Amino acid sequence: CRFSRRYVLCEVVSEDPRCRQCIEDRAVGFAVRDAIGRVHGDYGLACCSISFTVKYLNAYTGTVLLRCRKDSYRLLCSALPFVRHLESRNQRYPCVLNTLHVGGTIRTCQKFLIQYNRRQLLMLLQNCTNEEERRCIQKSLLSCSLTEGQSQSGDEEDDGGTE
C-alpha cells in the first residue's frame, strides 16, 4: 500500500547569523517533533512521526523541506510556529520556522522555491544602492531556473513509498 505525502517547505528565520551555519537536519527534526508533542500531545506526535522526515536542508539559505503523511500535514503545519529554537553542538539558537509552501511532490516545492527566490531577488534589485550590486543581483536572477537534470532527480519520492 502506498501512502500520499505532503512536503512542507520552510525557511529558518533567525537574527543570529551563526544559527544557519550550525543547523543540522537532526536538530530541525528534534525541534519539530518537540513542538508537535507540546502542541498536540502524544496523539499528534504519533500521527506525525509515522512518515515524518527532514528531506532537504540548505544551511546556507536556511531552506528546509519536511515530509509527512497527507493525513497529518495539518498537525505538522500548526505546530511549526511553536518552534522557537534549534539546538546544535550544545548551543541553543533562537529562530522561527516560516512555512513557505505545502506541496504534493518535491518538484512542486522546487518550482515554488525558484519563484520565491526570484521575487526576493527582484525586491533586492529595487533596493540596490550602486551599479555593482545591481549587476550581481541581475546575474542571480538570470540563474534562477530548474535545469533538466534537476527536474528528473527530485520529481517524486525515491525511497519506495511503502510504509
How many CA atoms lie within 13 Å of 23's alpha carbon, on the beta-carbon side?
Answer: 30
Q: Report the CATH architecture of 1-104.
A: 2-Layer Sandwich (3.30)
Tell me which DSSP letter residue 110 carries.
H
- Which pLDDT does position 163 carry in this prediction? 41
pTM exceeding 0.85: no
Residue 53 has pLDDT above 70, yes or no: yes
Can you tell me the mean pLDDT for 60-74?
92
Q: Give residue 109's pLDDT band: very low, low, confident or very high (50, 70, 90).
A: very high
Q: What single letter denotes the amino acid at residue 72? A: S
Tell me which DSSP letter residue 19 carries.
H
Scanning the structure block, which residue is given the C-alpha cell 505546530?
Answer: 79
Please give the C-alpha separations between residue 111 and each of 60, 94, 99, 106, in angstroms, as whole numbers. Answer: 19, 29, 15, 9
Nearest of 148, 128, 151 to residue 138 by alpha carbon: 128
- Which pLDDT does position 147 carry in this prediction? 55
